[in-house]
Structure 1
Amino acid sequence: MATPIPLRIDFVSDVSCPWCAIGLSALEHALERLGGTVQAQIHLQPFELNPQLSVEGEDATEHLMGKYGIGEAQVEANRAVIRERAAALGFAFNIGVGSRVYNTFDAHRLLHWAELQGGRHLALKKALLRAYFTDGEDVASHEVLVRLAGEAGLDREEARRVLESGTYAREVRAQERFFQQRGIHSVPATIVNGTHLIPGGQPPEVFEQALRDIAGVAAA
């Protein structure tokens, strides 16, 4: 059996980005299809869609209407498209009227810490995405974040200490700047081996073909 081709994948995303949830699910589906032909190491990189938001957040519909200059009908039409794409990947998207959008900086700090704890960042990321998009939870709440850390197999008390102390704020800011300075201004952005960009929440087959091509180049 051929040796798997190692691939470093930097997945730049936000916790409150619906296309990021779709993109991560599609990426994982693609990696499953590739089987043992590649050995992917996924690193989650921070991006804040709305860094100016307060802890209390804002009504999601009003926020989108103001940010993109669209009406409520268009917001709901966009959500219907996202809901359908997410469902095809086995992800339940329940954002709708009455939902809120939150500041995600503390969630990114916790994700940074989680990667240092034996690579539990993916489990935490998926727990955060489900909590926000499926269950409508407040992902700025420290209580919610601590609970999700525990559900992802992380130490709850250590997670609480990280959140309350402000630890890893500098590191997260540095990573945000790093990718912004390299032209990443919308997410999700999937960067393979530091050079190949797959933009947006692509379908699994697009990720699969791109990863096959990149692995082929790496093998050669």
Structure 2
Amino acid sequence: MKSVRIDFVSDIACPWCAIGLTALEQAVDQVSDRVSVEIHTQPFELNPQMPPGGRDVFEYLSEKYGNPISQVKINQERIYQRAAEIAFTFHPEGRKRVYNTFNGHRLLHWAGEEFDAAAQLRLKKALFHTYFTLAVSMDEPQHLLDAVARANLPVSRAQAVIESDEFSQAVRDIEQQYGQLGISSVPAVIFNQRHLISGAQAPEVFAQAILEYAD
């Protein structure tokens, strides 16, 4: 059977990344009888300077993109509709705040280093669930640890990672690497470390790419 490595470059705080990963997994299911796929999640921070406590989502996005809050709310509704179409569940009232995601990325790196890509992917999905479905504070360590538990990973080890600076430099190095490759928006989906597809594409688009780029 042919195989494909997929590097899914994304941020936990990116709604299109949550939608894109859901679509990608549906694509993997479509071709699972023909291609073996391994997904590695890679870090990208949309808001690396976000202060503790985060910021109101509408005020922040309005300032970032120069749109009135009314337009931001319309854009968010479109995202929620797209998520519903792809079967990813957002909180009924949406997320309230935007948070720093660096600790989440450190935990994802830990999962990949000390376990495997499958464990890392489980944690990525659990963190998306925390951020968008539960819509709770990502600054609260317990919420991160709850995601670790949902991913069936050792909570005590994850707590030690959070309370230290483990994997901080590794995450920053990877972020810099992808920045140097020209990636400035996410999700960025890289097939066999050579072929890039940008954005939250439909499952059929991802499935075709998997079949095309399989070795």
Please name the residue that 1:178 is paired with: 177
- Aligned partners of 1:176 and 1:20: how far apart in 2? 16
- The answer to whether the 8 Å contact 1:95/1:133 transfers is no
Quick check: 1:13 aligned with 2:10?
yes
Map 1:1-220; keep pairs closer than 5 Å: 4-94=1-91, 96=93, 99-119=96-116, 120-215=119-214, 218=215
- How many correspondences in the alignment? 213
TM-superposition CA deviations, 1:166-194 (whole Å, max 9, x none): 10001000000010000100000000011
In structure 2, the CA distance between the partners of 1:45 and 1:187, relative to structure 1 (3 Å rule), is same
Alpha-carbon offset, residue 74 of structure 1: 1.2
Query: What value does the CA root-mean-square deviation take over the aligned residues?
Result: 1.3
- Residue 155 of structure 1 aligns with an amino acid whose one-letter code is P
Taking the aligned partners of 1:42 and 1:90, their CA distance within structure 2 comes to 20
**Paired residues of 1:8 and 1:193 also in contact (CA < 8 A):** yes
Tell me the distance in 1 between the aligned counterparts of 2:112 and 2:120. 5
- 1:117 is displaced (CA, Å) by 3.4
Gaps of 5+ in 2: none
- Provide closer, same or farther for how the CA distance between residues 136 and 206 of structure 1 changes in structure 2, counting only shifts above 3 A: same
CA contact (8 A) 1:107 1:140 kept: no
Structure with the larger RCO, 1 or 2 (CA within 8 Å, 6+ apart): 2
Query: How far apart are the structure 1 equivalents of 2:18 and 2:110?
Result: 20
For 1:51, the aligned partner's letter is P
**TM-score normalised to structure 2 length:** 0.95
Q: Which amino acid is 2:10 matched to?
A: S
The alpha-carbon distance between structure 1 residues 52 and 96, as it changes in their structure 2 partners (threshold 3 A), is farther
- For residue 51 of structure 1, report the CA deviation from its aligned partner: 0.2
Structure 1 window deviating more from structure 2 (96-105 vs 9-18): it is 96-105
SS of the equivalent of 1:8 reads strand
Task: List structure 1 segments (4+ residues) > 6 angstroms apart after TM superposition.
Answer: none
Are the aligned partners of 1:83 and 1:94 in contact in 2 as well (CA < 8 Å)? no
TM-score by length of 1: 0.93
Q: Which amino acid aligns with 2:131?
A: Y
Q: Deviations over 1:3-62 (max 9, x none)?
A: x21111100000000000010000000000012211111111000000000121000000
> How far off is 1:154 after superposition?
0.9
* Long gaps (5+) in structure 1: none
